[in-house]
């Protein structure tokens, strides 16, 4: 399972569609101020602080994925021209809400910005995709319920090591969706908030070959956390981008 070589999932059959999701910007909450600039900088990440969204060297694909809380496998393009725009250019985006608002509200605001500045329109389709079910191994989980209260926290200790605090299995499954390049559904039946660390470093190949992140993830989950990913195929909602254009001036 070499996720570094190609995407893990492939689209098979379109089984249905939903209504358009990209409405005029005025239909949803908007940022008080926003700056959008082309950049050659690296990063490709979206960062959030209270009332503010900052994208650093981010592709439109990364921005859309964050705005709609979906992995790359659930993002598609209607035409090749649109597909090229998703990953070909990078942007620095600094947007403020004017006040501290919940993250869900910031995601809606970024959707509005994508519509107003990039003329984005999109629709949902139900497609048959590769998915994974997150479950518990026969020996049970190797982590404990968090003793602290508060929001879920993910700490990056290195490129391959992450610590999770006060994290539900549902939230963890969403994180795994990005790593596995396929939707991951929580079927652990574990309902608490948990503290644990996931470290892929011990499973790096010793030969200098390109690492198989998917295979490393499966092993680390089993050995370090007592969890497993079971491959499946089923209906998944995919966001299909119908239109994108160059950004409007600030």
Burial 4-32 (b: 16+ CB within 10 A, else e): eeeebbeeeeeeeeeeeebeebeebbbbe
**Sequence-separated (6 or more) residues with CB below 8 Å from residue 202:** 220
Lowest mean pLDDT among 12-26, 117-131, 220-234: 12-26
Is pLDDT of 16 > 80?
no
- pLDDT of 99 strictly over 80: yes
Q: What are phi and psi of 200, to 5 degrees?
A: -90, -10
Rounded to the nearest 5 degrees, what angle is found at the Cα of 69, between the Cα atoms of 131 and 45? Answer: 110
* Predicted confidence (pLDDT) at residue 131 exceeds the cutoff of 60: yes
pLDDT value at position 23? 45
* Helices H / strands E in the chain, number of each: 5, 13
| Domain map (residue ranges) of the chain | 23-119, 128-234
Q: Which residues pair with 49 in a beta bridge?
A: 52
Read off the DSSP letter of residue 113.
H
Residue 35 and residue 82 in contact, taking contact as beta carbons nearer than 8 Å:
no
pLDDT in tens, 107-124: 999 999 999 999 999 999
Q: What is the pLDDT of residue 73?
A: 86
Check residue 67 and give its pLDDT.
96
User: What is the reported pLDDT for 42?
Assistant: 82
pLDDT band for position 20 (cuts 50, 70, 90): very low
**Of 31 and 72, which is predicted with more confidence?**
31
Overall average pLDDT of the 146-170 stretch: 91
pLDDT per residue over 169-216, tens digit each?
Answer: 999 998 898 788 888 999 999 999 999 999 999 999 887 778 888 899
Report pLDDT for 226: 98
pTM: 0.72
Beta bridge partners of 33: 96
pLDDT at position 249, please? 66
- Averaged confidence pLDDT in the chain: 86
Largest CA distance in the chain: 57
Side-chain half-sphere CA neighbours of 28 within 13 A: 21
28 vs 108, higher pLDDT: 108
- Neighbour count for residue 221 (Cβ, 10 Å): 20
pLDDT tier at 24 (50, 70, 90 boundaries)? Answer: very low
Positions of E strands within the chain: 14-20, 33-39, 45-49, 52-59, 75-77, 90-96, 121-136, 144-145, 153-158, 161-167, 184-186, 194-199, 227-243
CA distance 93 to 131: 32
d(CA 169, CA 190): 7
Q: Kind and range of the H or E element at 104?
A: helix 103-118
pLDDT tens sequence across 56-67: 999 999 999 999
Sign of CA dihedral 85, 91, 97, 99: positive
């Amino acid at each position: 399972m070499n996720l570094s070589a190609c995407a893990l999932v492939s689209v098979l059959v379109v089984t249905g569609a939903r209504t358009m999701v990209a409405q005029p910007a005025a239909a949803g909450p908007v940022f008080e101020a926003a700056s959008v600039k082309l950049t050659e900088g690296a990063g490709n990440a979206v960062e959030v602080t209270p009332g503010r969204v900052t994208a650093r060297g981010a592709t439109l694909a990364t921005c859309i994925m964050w705005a709609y809380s979906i992995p790359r496998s659930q993002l598609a393009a209607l035409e090749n021209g649109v597909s090229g725009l998703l990953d070909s250019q990078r942007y620095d985006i600094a947007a403020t809400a004017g006040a501290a608002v919940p993250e869900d509200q910031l995601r809606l605001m970024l959707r509005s910005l994508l519509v107003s500045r990039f003329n984005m329109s999109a629709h949902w389709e139900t497609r048959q995709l590769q998915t994974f079910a997150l479950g518990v191994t026969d020996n049970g989980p190797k982590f404990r319920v968090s003793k602290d209260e508060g929001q879920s926290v993910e700490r990056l200790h290195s490129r391959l090591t992450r610590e999770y605090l006060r994290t539900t299995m549902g939230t963890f499954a969403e994180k795994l969706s990005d790593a596995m390049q396929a939707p991951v559904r929580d079927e652990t039946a574990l309902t608490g908030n948990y503290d644990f660390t996931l470290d892929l470093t011990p499973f790096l190949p010793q030969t200098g070959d390109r690492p198989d992140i998917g295979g490393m993830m499966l092993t680390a989950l089993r050995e370090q956390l007592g969890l497993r990913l079971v491959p499946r195929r089923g209906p998944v909602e995919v966001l299909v981008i119908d239109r994108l254009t160059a950004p409007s001036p600030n």
